[in-house]
Amino acid sequence: MRTCPYCGSTLFFDRMEKVYSCGRCGAALTLQELVEHREKAKAEKEKMLKERRRHEEYLEWWLSSKK
């Protein structure tokens, strides 16, 4: 089941228009647009996790060097 990248609601496929539409916010997206949103969200999540790991490693280094 596909979810709306804007509000998280369920998307419904319109066969005539060949788009996925959201019943809550009214967004209409093609499959290509959904794929692009998913890839962008994945890249942002990976960037956030990388930054978090960097901060955790720095904190661990900082705490160990102050003993």
The 10s digit of each residue's pLDDT in 32-62 is 999 999 999 999 999 999 999 999 999 999 8
The parent domain of residue 24 ranges over: 11-65
Report whether 38 contacts 5 (CB < 8 A).
yes
Total number of domains constituting the chain: 1
Share above pLDDT 70 across residues of the chain, in percent, rounded to a whole number: 97
Q: Does residue 2 form part of some domain?
A: no
Q: Does residue 3 form part of some domain?
A: no
Q: Does residue 1 form part of some domain?
A: no
Per-residue pLDDT, 67: 53
**pTM (2 decimals)?**
0.70
Q: Does residue 4 form part of some domain?
A: no
Report whether 9 contacts 22 (CB < 8 A).
yes
Phi–psi pair at 51, nearest 5 degrees: -65, -40
Whether the per-residue pLDDT at 66 is higher than 80: the answer is no
